[in-house]
Structure 1
Amino acid sequence: MEDRYAFLADWYDPCADLLRRYKLFYYPNDRSVEMFDVRKHKIFLRKTKYENLLLRDLFVGNRVSVFSRQLNLIDYGDPYTATKLGSKKQRTLALIKPDAVPKLGDILEIMYEADMIVTKAKMTKLTCVEAKDFYAEHESKPFFKDLVELLSSGPVVAIELMGDEAISVWQQLLGPADSAKAQKEAPLSIRGQFGTDAAHASDSVTAAARELEFFFPSKAGEGPPNTAYCTDCTCCIIKPHAVSDGLAGKILNAISAAGFEISALKMFNVDQANAEEFYEVYKGVVIEYYGMKTELCSGPCIVLEIHGSDTPKTFREFCGPADSDIARHLRPNTLRALFGKDKVQNAVHCTDLPEDGVLEVEYFFKILDGCGQ
């Protein structure tokens, strides 16, 4: 029998203002999909090849795009799928500490190579009180003060990782807690390579749930705030196709290597209404408007605030021409030339007009982010 996985998926129909439920079937052999309307008890989409959906995208809680419909995967559709795909799935916190934030791009690449999926990410700055709350269980330990001082000494990046046995896999990638020991016993681990404490790893399912709630609370408007200045800045969006292809780490490394300051970072799942609102200035102006809008809400993207004087102009030049093919001919070292595919899937969005830099950053980090400052 042909291998097939099933999920229950919800789709919000904005025209009818209704939440519609489907059973989504995925056939990994030929990467085709099929959808069954649960309420109407009939086929909604016959089996059709759809190469934009990958098996690793299929887990409960994720949002996937199928022919421009954003589907929220709410449950497994049958016992076989739950056993085959869900039995080993875990979520864990990877907290990149201030001394390793400059190595964030390298760390993301290591995560991607280990088949870990970044489902949430946020740069924040913890106060001493917040750092003490996070490490409350270690309050009686002799190293508690040093932990708190390090964690509150600069920006951190909190990441929710999803994967098979994610807790133990992330611990192994990180290596022994003592970086000197890691360099000797596990030189290829993150601590072994970078020679610092680098990051925090949850040590159990219970701890992971508590620590993820600390940084990514279920109630909107709570949790540590983002680090956006919203002044002297420009906006950069690492587009969904680049995130899905595991290029985020390489793009972050390229941006840092070029001397740009990444002052804020957050992963967003942009819905269709917000994508239309954000790209409204391009409507009727560029023929790629519909494709740009569809791409932005096709999966998670990573939004950056790039801070510094004259940044909108210099960063736009660094991104290169909007058409990646043209960029490869004219400016082969730009971001879009190196990581883009075409004029829509061109790796990154950057602010076009200098006067719009603050507005675009504010749109994400103040309006869409409930924890904005």
Structure 2
Amino acid sequence: MASTLDEKFAFEAEWYDPHACLIRKYQVLYYVTDNSVEIYDLKNRRQFLKRSKTEITLTDLYIGSTIAIHSRQFKVVAYGDDYTRRALSNKKERTLGIIKPDVCDKFDQILATIYDRGFRVTKMKMCQLSRAEAGDFYQEHGAKSFYNSLIQFMSSGPIIAFELIGDSAISNWRALIGPTDSATARSEAPTSLRARFGTDNTQNACHGSDSETSAARELEFFFPSKGPKRRSTACFQDCTLCVIKPHAVLAGNAGKIISEIKRTGFEITALQMYNMDRANAEEFLEIYKGVLQEYKGMVDEFVTGPCIAMELRAQNAPTAFREMCGPHDPEIARQLRPRTLRANFGKDKICNAVHCTDLPEDALLEVEYFFKILDQ
């Protein structure tokens, strides 16, 4: 067992080598004391990277996560030893959450609460279920009296499904959403989400998996590991693109940014969380190559963690949203446009909170890049 003075955790990870078109396997050792890592090539049995400091924290390391180390993206696929498995498996529990149709317009407030409570959102998508899909998801309730009304309700409008990871995530998420009956929630758990936003037993704001088995099945339903994905709600008309950048997502500011966007009158008609690989980030940002000296840093930022892409609709949406974002440099934004998104949530020219479409004629192309090309 590692000394607590220099505690380390081991993970198995994969890196796709684009030149050889191969998936290469590594062991990643993470040292808690200084956020450093060292990497070993498992096939060739040799050191791949000497111990080096990174910006990775232990919360970034869980099965299925993607981490960026010196501009390379590694996917964590397994625990590397029994010590790591025993120490972290309960702390990295995953569950499904759903924001139901009745409160989809309040998802910014719910998302802000989720981040405030310390949950990590690792997948998220706005989608519209058909009656058949809703019936498949709630198949265990097929013989119950409320089944038909539940299916009708869950297929009546957009929902937002998301994967949560955290310490005892299943029980903690169910505690946060509260009792099934919203009236009971208001008397027994008045600060819960169902007490705050729910109406009754069915229109009760949120859903949470009730066991590890249910969580696995329900996550696979919304985020299938193979086969067709759940279709998005993007409409590709009179729209523009907003991308909340990874640094703002990881800082827990996504809900606050979305609240500002909604307050200004934009309609969010599609939303999804993405973990972009370097090739996609370079392709999407190619228009800035040779134009902005920050191009490489912008690509690096896009691959450091999850981003949230949204299709926004409003009159003159591309121009209006660009105005709301403010100047590219947050320092200039704070001086000239202090109420803009970049002024309030940006750090520098690279970590400037949000990407927006610069030219109105590019708006549809950018929306299609995320919600058609990347969502295949």
In the superposition, the TM-score normalised over structure 1's length comes to 0.95
Secondary structure at 1:137 match in 2: helix
Contact 2:357-2:363 within 8 A present in 1 as well: yes
Match of 1:200 in 2: 207
**Alignment RMSD (CA, Å):** 1.4
Match of 1:35 in 2: 39
User: Bigger shift: 325-334 or 137-146?
Assistant: 137-146
Task: For residues 173-209 of structure 1, give each alpha carbon's deviation from its aligned partner in whole angstroms, at most 9, with x where no partner exists.
Answer: 1001111111111111111222441111111112112
Match of 2:334 in 1: 328
When the two structures are aligned, how many residues end up with a matched partner?
A: 368
1:185 aligns with 2:188: yes
Match of 2:78 in 1: 75
User: Bigger shift: 39-48 or 339-348?
Assistant: 39-48
Residue identity in the other structure for 1:188? T
Match of 1:364 in 2: 370
Contact 2:13-2:76 within 8 A present in 1 as well: yes
Secondary structure at 1:172 match in 2: helix
1:167 aligns with 2:170: yes
1:296 aligns with 2:265: no
1:284 aligns with 2:287: no
Match of 1:21 in 2: 25
Cα distance, 1:341 vs. partner? Answer: 0.6
Residue identity in the other structure for 2:75? N
Contact 2:16-2:24 within 8 A present in 1 as well: yes
Cα distance, 1:18 vs. partner? Answer: 3.1
Among 135, 160, 172, which residue is 1:157 paired with?
160
Contact 2:120-2:165 within 8 A present in 1 as well: yes
Residue identity in the other structure for 2:310? L
Cα distance, 1:223 vs. partner? Answer: 3.9
Task: For residues 83-126 of structure 1, give each alpha carbon's deviation from its aligned partner in whole angstroms, at most 9, with x where no partner exists.
Answer: 11124532211011011112212212222223221111110111
Match of 1:113 in 2: 116
Alignment of 1:208-247 (within 5 A): 208-220=215-227, 222-247=228-253
Among 55, 58, 66, which residue is 2:61 paired with?
58
User: Bigger shift: 142-151 or 255-264?
Assistant: 142-151
Among 298, 318, 325, which residue is 1:319 paired with?
325
**Where in structure 2 are there 5+ consecutive unaligned residues?**
none
Contact 1:5-1:27 within 8 A present in 2 as well: yes
Q: Give, in whole Å, the separation in 1 of the partners of 2:229 and 2:211.
A: 21
Q: Give, in whole Å, the separation in 2 of the partners of 1:106 and 1:67.
A: 35
Q: Give, in whole Å, the separation in 2 of the partners of 1:223 and 1:25.
A: 33
Residue identity in the other structure for 2:222? F
Match of 2:150 in 1: 147
User: Bigger shift: 336-345 or 204-213?
Assistant: 204-213
Q: Give, in whole Å, the separation in 2 of the partners of 1:40 and 1:276.
A: 30
Task: For residues 250-302 of structure 1, give each alpha carbon's deviation from its aligned partner in whole angstroms, at most 9, with x where no partner exists.
Answer: 11111111111000001111111111111111111111111111111111111
Residue identity in the other structure for 2:208? A
Cα distance, 1:81 vs. partner? Answer: 0.8
Contact 1:324-1:343 within 8 A present in 2 as well: yes
Q: Give, in whole Å, the separation in 1 of the partners of 2:45 and 2:353.
A: 40
User: Bigger shift: 118-127 or 85-94?
Assistant: 85-94
Among 4, 10, 16, which residue is 1:12 paired with?
16
Over the matched positions of the two proteins, sequence identity in percent amounts to 55
Q: Give, in whole Å, the separation in 2 of the partners of 1:315 and 1:96.
A: 25
**Where in structure 1 are there 5+ consecutive unaligned residues?**
none
Cα distance, 1:212 vs. partner? Answer: 1.4
Among 266, 277, 292, which residue is 2:272 paired with?
266
